[in-house]
Amino acid sequence: MQIEGMKLYLSLMALDNPFRQRIAEVFSEDGEGNMTLDDFLDMFSVLSEMAPRDLKAYYAFKIYDFNSDDFICKSDLEKTLNKLTRNELTDDEVRMVCEKVIDEADLDNDGRLSLEDFQHMIVRAPEFLSLKKNGFFSYKIVLEITV
C-alpha cells in the first residue's frame, strides 16, 4: 500500500460547503475573502465550541446577509435557499419558503430580518441549543489520505 497524497482541510472550507465563499468574505478585513492571520484567528475563535452563542449568531447573520446591508432581505433568503438546495426547488416554492421565513421571524414588520429578529429566532432553534451535536457553525479538521 502506498500513500499517494494527503489532504488536510477544514470542513468549513470544504468545497461542498455552500457558504464557503461567504464565510471567507465575512471574516476577511477587506470583504473580498483575502484573510490575514488575524482574520483567520478571528474566524477560529468565533467558530470554536467555546465561543458564546450570541457571537455565533451575530456572525451567522453576517454570513446570511449576502449583500451586507445589515438586513437579511428577500434576495438574501432566496440566495441562501438556492445554495442549500442546489436550485432544486421551483421558483414558486422558493418564493413561498422565503415568505414563510419572513412571516415567522420578522418581528418589526419591515419585510426583512434585522439582527434582532435573527437573534430572537435563532436562539430558539434546537440546533442552536445543542451546538456540540449538530455542528451548527463549527468546524472540524478533516484528514484525507488517498491510497
Partner 1 sequence: QERQSGRRRKRRRRSGDKKEKKKKHQRRRSSSSARDGREERQTKKRESSKKQREKHFKERTTERNEEEAQTSSVKATKTNKNINNEKTRKTKTAERETEKRNEKKMDKSPKTIERKESEGKNTDKSKERKKHKKSEEDKEEQEELDKEQEEVRSECLSPEELEKLKEAVDERKKLIQSLRVKPWPMKKKLVSLRESQEFVEKYEGALGKGKGRKIYAYKVIMTKKWMKFERDFENFKTTLIPWEMKIKEIESHFGSSVASYFIFLRWMYGINMILFCLTFGLVMVPEALMGRPYGSIPRKTVPRAEEASAMDFAVLWDFGGYAQYSVLFYGFYNNQRAIGWLKFRMPLSYFLVGVGTVAYSYMVVIRTMARNANESGIGDDNSFNFSWKMFTSWDYLIGNTETADNKFASITTSFKEAILEEQESRKDDNIHLTRFLRVLANFLVLCCLAGSGYLIYFVVRRSQKFALDGLENHTWWERNEVNMVMSLLGMFCPMLFDVISTLENYHPRVALQWQLGRIFALFLGNLYTFIIALMDEINLKRKEEMIVKYNITTWENSFNGTVSENSTATPISLHPADVPRGPCWETMVGQEFVRLIISDTMTTYITLLIGDFLRAVLVRFLNHCWCWDLEAGFPSYSEFDVSGNVLGLIFNQGMIWMGAFYAPCLPALNLLRLHISMYLQCWAVMCCNVPQERVFKASGSNNFYMAMLLVILFLSTLPAIYTIVTIPPSFDCGPFSGKNRMFDVIHETLESDFPVWFSKVFSYASNPGLVLPFILLMVLAIYYLQSTSKNYKEANVKLKKKLQMQNEENKKKNKRAALKAQMDLEEARKASSQQKHVSPRRHYYSKNGRNPAPPVGDRSLRRSAPRTYQHVNPGPPGYLPGLPRQSETRMHRVPSLQRH
Contacting partner 1 within 49-68 (CB under 8 A): 49-52, 54-55, 58-60, 64, 68
Instruction: Number of residues interacting with partner 1: please give it, by CB under 8 A.
Output: 74
Q: Does 140 bind partner 1 (CB under 8 A)?
A: yes
Q: Does 24 bind partner 1 (CB under 8 A)?
A: no
Using the rule CB under 8 A, is 145 a contact of partner 1?
A: no
Q: Does 125 bind partner 1 (CB under 8 A)?
A: yes
Q: Is 38 in the site for partner 1 (CB under 8 A)?
A: yes
Measured distance CA(39)–CA(50) in Å, rounded:
18
Q: Which helix (H) or strand (E) holds 15?
A: none
Q: Where are the alpha helices (DSSP H) in the chain?
A: 20-27, 37-47, 53-64, 74-85, 91-105, 115-122, 126-129, 131-134
